[in-house]
Structure 1
Amino acid sequence: MPSPAVSFFPARDGVRLGYRELGEGRPLVLLHGISTDATLWLRHGQAETIAAHGYRVILPDFRGHGASAKPQEAEAYPADVLTDDAFALLDHLGLDDYDLGGYSLGARIVVRMLVRGATPGRAVAAGQGLRQVLGFGGGAGSFMRQVYAGSASFTPGSREERAAQRLLAGGGDPVALVHVLDSIVATPVELLGSVQVPTLVMVGSEDERADSADALAEALPYGTRAVVPGNHGTAVAAPEFTASIVDFLTDHR
């Protein structure tokens, strides 16, 4: 299936942001992770499969990613700006009855939207755990900063070197991506208790965040948990991942 065409909308500060759509039916906004873009949901047919179940799937690119603008100035990345941008997309499309999902960084933004008053019918937060939401995820963010800054030296052939090569091969702008990392804010656990939206917390069985994902599901009053095959990099491509989203959304209609 050809990739959907990119459309654009203005963020609240005027930055030009891109998004794609496919399918018809109930709107579902899906947010991608750091150093990738909306095609995360297209590469293995996830968005197409979900759309076939009666959904209008909406796939934005975060600022600093994909087809969206990549400002170089730190001032263009204030605290929680990705959440602000997601709310701007809802306003642009006039969405007030919709579902919401995200993977990795996208899941953190889903949580931020929920605690800031977003009211989707249901939500999916995949590839993240309570530790990361609380701002204690340190390792991955520190590693990415080193890679983007070009300040890391890894043993040739090591797992770290391969991970760094994958990050750089994504074609992202290192300056913009460091600013994105700086904009991410933590969510206090007490705010999670106020979320009244049924939320699926999903994680790969080999993802190092798996135990923390259990804690996130428990912290959300209407949180449920699902485990699918794979690690943080591969779980999103597993057929079970997409099937779990479809089952969760349709069961809660």
Structure 2
Amino acid sequence: MSGPTEQTIASFDGTELAVHRMGAGRPVVLLHGLFSSAEMNWVRFGHAGKLADAGFEAIMPDLRAHGSSGKPHDPESYPPGVLARDAAALVAALDLDDYDLVGFSLGARTAARAVIEGLSPRRLVLAGMGLEGLAGWSGRSAFFIDAIDRFDEVKRGDPAFMPVSFMKTMKIDRVAARLLLQAVDDTDPAELAKIAMPTMVLCGDKDDDNGSATGLAEALPDGRHVEIPGTHMGSVTEGALGDELVRFLRNSG
């Protein structure tokens, strides 16, 4: 399997989003996590390749302020719910009709919001996410904003050490990332009733970063919880993640 191709689309406000595509077949839109990228989250550890081998086309945008996508420094470029609006713009730009939607962590938040606000994938995967995580963004956001603000003084042993190290690895634009962190909407549990399609809540067995995955699955109209090995960050490196995506999305029921 050859590597992904890349194209650029303009989002609702003209910000350019890089979109990486691999395979041919049923479209699957995959949204990566905070400070990550399409390549790091989906390509590097083989998940996109497994989907492509199974007859899907993996469509993987770099989120705004991440990867090869635009990183504007204007606060006006980060209205509330901006990432869900970007997801809707991507679906419209690529004229997707019958497709599946997958998100990890921040990508899962984005996928849930996008569905609540009108996207209609056939199947949905919320990975690295729990019930409390969808409604409790303010605390998580404050933690990461603090990490950005103390970026140059964080030492090993500090709770912010790992996210700061990851930001350094990914060469994150901290100005853009800080603005984005303030533009993510919470999801009230009552809104989950709008997520009617079959939904897999896929989470590492040592991942409680975003609360209860089983609680989220139980709160969804058609949810199921699937556990794979790993912590929040570690689960992305597990081959089981790609295997479970293929297994769930292959089911046409």
TM-score (normalised: structure 2): 0.94
CA contact (8 A) 2:5 2:22 kept: no
Residues 1:18 and 2:18 are matched in the alignment: yes
Offset from partner CA, 1:45-64 (integer Å, 9 cap, x none): 11011111010110001111
- Aligned 1:56-205 pairs, distance under 5 A: 56-136=57-137, 138=139, 140-150=140-150, 153-156=153-156, 160-205=160-205
Give 4+ residue runs of structure 1 displaced > 6 Å after superposition.
Answer: none
Query: 1:52 is matched by which residue type in structure 2?
Result: D
Distance 1:3 1:178 in 2: 31
Q: CA deviation at 1:153?
A: 4.3
- 1:235 aligns with 235
Code of the residue aligned with 1:118 in structure 2: it is: L
Structure 1 gaps of 5+ residues are none
8 Å contact from structure 2 (residues 201, 216) kept in 1? yes
Q: Could you say what secondary structure the match of 1:226 adopts? A: strand
In 1, Cα distance between equivalents of 2:128 and 2:73: 28
Is the 1:203–1:213 contact (alpha carbons within 8 Å) kept by the matching residues of 2? yes
Structure 1 position 160, deviation (Å): 3.9
- From the superposition, tell whether residues 133 and 152 of structure 1 become closer, same or farther in structure 2 (CA, over 3 Å): farther
Matched residues in 2 for 1:198 and 1:209: separation? 24
What residue identity is the alignment partner of 2:12?
R
* CA apart distance, 1:171: 0.6
Percent same amino acid among aligned pairs? Answer: 37
Distance 1:167 1:74, change over 3 A: same
Task: Pick closer, same or farther for the CA change 1:210–1:172 going to 2, 3 Å.
Answer: closer
Q: What is the letter of the counterpart of residue 35 of structure 2?
A: S
1:44 — aligned with what? 45
CA RMSD of aligned residues (A): 1.8
The amino acid that maps onto 1:22 is M
Give 3-state SS (helix, strand or coil) of 1:88's partner: helix
Query: 1:163, 1:10 → 2: CA distance?
Result: 29
Task: Quote how far apart the aligned CAs of 1:6 are.
Answer: 1.9
Query: How far does the alpha carbon of each residue in 1:219-242 deviate from its partner, in whole angstroms, 9 at most, with x for none?
Result: 110010001000001102211111
Structure 2 residue aligned with 1:213: 213
Distance 1:251 1:154, change over 3 A: same
CA deviation digits over 1:78-134, x for unaligned, max 9?
000111111111111100100000101000011001111211110100001111111
CA distance in 2 between counterparts of 1:152 and 1:137 reads 23
Equivalents in 1 of 2:168, 2:147: separation in Å? Answer: 8
Q: What's the offset of the Cα at 1:176?
A: 0.4
Contact 1:10 1:17 in 2 (8 A): yes
- Decide whether the 8 Å contact of 2:104 with 2:129 is kept in 1: yes
Secondary structure in 2 matching 1:231:
coil
Structure 2 alignment gaps of length 5 or more: none
Residues 1:246 and 2:233 are matched in the alignment? no
2:9 and 2:90 in contact (8 A); partners too = yes
How many aligned residue pairs are there? 252
Q: TM-score scaled to structure 1, two decimals?
A: 0.94
Q: Which residue of 1 aligns with 2:29?
A: 29
1:210 & 1:252 partners in 2: Cα distance? 29
Q: Deviations over 1:171-229 (max 9, x none)?
A: 11001001111110011111101221100001101112475111111111001000100
